[in-house]
Every structure is written in C-alpha cells, then in structure tokens.
Amino acid sequence: MLDIASGGTTEECADAILASMNKLKALDGDATHLLCGQGADSGGGGVLDGLTEALKQRSNLCIPMNEHLVANCCVHALQLQLRNAAVSVFGEGGLEKINVMQMLHSVYDLQESLDQNEWRHILWKSTEFVYAFDPTHVSNDEAAVAIMPAADKHRNTFCQAFNAVRLYHTKFKKDEPVDPTTLTKFKGTIYSKVLAPMLTRWWTVGAGATHLFRHCLQFCHVCQSLINTCASDSRANRIASSLFALMTDQENFLDMCLIYAFNRGHIPPNLDWLQSCDDLTLDLGFQAHNIAVRHFLMDRLSRSLLTHNVCEDYHEAIEGVDPDGAHLDKLKTNTSFIGCQMSCCRVH
C-alpha cells in the first residue's frame, strides 16, 4: 500500500505518487516496482478513473491498465448519494444563499461565533422560554398592539413569528430545561456540539438537520436573544438575523424535514452495515463479495421511501401546506435521483 501527501489536484497526486515510487527504484523511471492498483474515496481530486488516467500518462509507473484495479470507498460513495440528491433538489449553501443548506450552515456558524459556555447558557435560557411559552399571551389584535410600549410590541412581534413556527410540526422538543453546568455529558441533548454540515463528509448534514428539527423552537429564540443583545455589526448578530429569516420561512423548514427523513431512511441503515459487517473476512470494511446484493437492497429501499414510516414526519410537515404537491415532488425527485445514481454505478 502506498500512501501519499500532495496537493489537491489529480495531477499533483499523480506527481506525488511518481516521486514516491521513484524512491524505490535504482533509477527514476525504471520499469520496476509498478503499481497494480489504487484505492481512494469518491470525491475531490486524485481519485478513481481521473487519477488512473493521470498515472497512465507517466511512463513505467503502473502495470497495464487492463490489469490495473481501481477501488472506491463505498462509505464515502454512500454519503455522495445524499450530497448529489440534496444539491440537485435544493442547491448548495453559501453566503447570500437562501435555502435549507445555508440554514444548516448558519446553525453551525452561530454556534462557533460564541464562547462555548456562553452558547450553552443561551440555549438553556431559550429552552426555558420554549418550555414556559403560552400562545394565548400572543396578541393578534392590531389595535391592542398599536398602543403597547415599544418593548412589549417588539416582544409580541417575535412571539407571533415564534408561534407560527411552533405550528410547523408537533414533534418539536419542549423538554423541561436542564442547567448545562449540572451535566457531565452533552451527547443527545440540545447542548451537544453541531458539526460543520459538509455534504461530502459523512453524516454531518443529516445530523445537523436532525438536531435543528428537534430543537427548532429553541434556535428561533436563540436567534432573537442574540439579535437583542449583540451589536448590529457583530458576527453573532448578523448570523442570527440571517438564520431567523431562514427559519421563519416555512419553505426552508419543509426542505429540512425532507433531508431529515431522507437521511434517516437511507443513510444510517446502509452506513451501519458498511461499517459493521465482517461476514466471511472477519474484518470490517472488506465486503466486496456482498456489494452487489447490498446495491440491490439500497435501490429497493430508495424506491420505497415515499411510503416508509421514516417519512411520516415529512408528510406531517407538508400536510395542509402543499396543495399543489410541489414538496411531495421534491421527495420523489430525491428518491428518483438516488435510484438513477445507483443504476449507473460501476464496479471497478
């Protein structure tokens, strides 16, 4: 096995491999110590067929290409299915992007804009607000609102928006608040740290969507708290203002529910198998003899997601707010896109 460190492009990776291999040879370019194959992940530079072609262009580096083996990381390829489906339906996140991916990125950015203890303290206070919130105290009477003191008027305006988000779903967590300073473990709680939601990196996007889905109401209040307490030109205020606007747009919430449902139904079951199965080899991760069968099972699962119980939360989210079926079409597009990808897969 040859491991190399290089730049990020395919050409740079090929040059680095050539330099490493030449160290094994009496003279650079000798027809000895030839590579018989390569293993790589499924994205970025220096991977799969592109790298193979670059290696082929360098003389006396590989055995004949018809015997040269190329293996890809199935775990990484599985995550790319979510990435490609999400980008095709929602688009990528980025500054000034108004979509669900930017909403997930903003949660991470907001967390990183504050000291960890300060962040958890604000989450605690927001959990207290959600737990004690009484929707009957929100006034929708324009005449009554008009004569309120400014502070009460601003609070009522927020509560109106908060109450609208509260009605998006019935499964938002509204747990009794727990002081984070009394906890020794944060995993599984609102205080657990959100990882950067990168579409090409493992489960981070699905985990981010799950975390925001469960704690949607608390994050709405966190945004308002930071808007109220941080200077308007501060990083935390700017991120909180943007995130609040994204979260109060029901379109983004519905898209987040779709990612949550799709990730829950398609990624973990297959990811768990790829990471835990040791059939025949007694070693994790060496399951080439099972991949064809797994391919069939994954394809069948992707085609049944529309009616799978993991999509119940998504169906509840769009119930009554999707009269033309546009959001249900997104779910169909997602699953169809995955099916298309899988039918086009090649075994190297």
> What's the pLDDT score for residue 151?
92
Residue (of 91, 74, 85) closest to 302 by Cα position: 85
Integer-rounded Cα radius of gyration of the chain: 25
Q: Which residues of 100-130 are buried (b: 16+ CB within 10 A; e: fewer)?
A: bbbbbbbbbbbbebbeeeebbbbbbebbebb
Cα-to-chain-centroid distance, residue 115 = 24
Cβ atoms of 9 and 46 within 8 Å: the answer is yes
How many other C-beta atoms lie within 10 A of the C-beta of residue 215?
24
Closest by CA to 59, choosing from 7, 22, 6, 8, is: 22
- Residue from 174, 157, 243 nearest 208 by CA: 243
Q: How far apart are CA 22 and CA 28, in angstroms?
A: 5
Give the residue carrying structure tokens 């990183």: 112
Is residue 335 within 8 A of residue 315, CB to CB? The reply is: no
Measured CA to CA in angstroms, residue 310 lies from 261, 304, 307, 318 at distances of 6, 10, 8, 14
Let me know: does 226 contact 236? Beta carbons within 8 Å: yes
Q: Residue 191 is encoded by which pair of tokens?
A: 């205080």
Cβ(256)–Cβ(169) below 8 Å:
no
Q: What is the pLDDT of residue 296?
A: 87
**269-318 tens-digit pLDDT:** 888 888 888 888 888 877 888 888 888 888 888 777 777 787 889 889 98
What pLDDT does residue 229 have? 94
Q: Report the pLDDT value the prediction gives residue 162, as an integer from 0 to 100.
A: 97
Eight-state DSSP code of residue 247: H
Predicted pLDDT at 335: 54
CA–CA distance, 292 with 295 (Å, rounded to integer) = 5
- Asked if 54 and 10 count as a contact pair (C-beta separation under 8 A), the reply is yes
**Predicted pLDDT at 347:** 37
For 32, phi then psi, to 5°, come to -125, 165
pLDDT by residue for the chain (348 residues), tens only, comes to 555 566 678 888 889 889 889 988 999 989 899 999 887 776 666 777 888 888 889 989 999 988 988 877 777 777 777 777 777 777 766 656 678 889 999 999 999 999 999 999 999 999 999 999 999 999 999 999 999 999 999 999 999 999 999 999 999 999 999 999 999 999 989 999 998 888 766 578 888 999 999 999 999 999 999 999 999 999 999 999 999 999 999 989 998 988 888 888 877 888 888 888 888 888 887 788 888 888 888 888 877 777 778 788 988 998 878 777 666 666 666 555 444 444 434 333
pLDDT confidence of residue 343: 40
What is the C-alpha to C-alpha distance for residues 120 and 126, in angstroms, rounded to an integer?
10
Rounded CA separation 53/45 (Å)? 13
Strands 37-40 and 69-72: parallel
Q: Which two tokens stand for residue 52?
A: 């193979």
Residues in the chain: 348
Pairwise CA distance, residues 2 & 35, whole Å: 9
**How many other CB atoms are found less than 10 A from the CB of residue 230?**
18
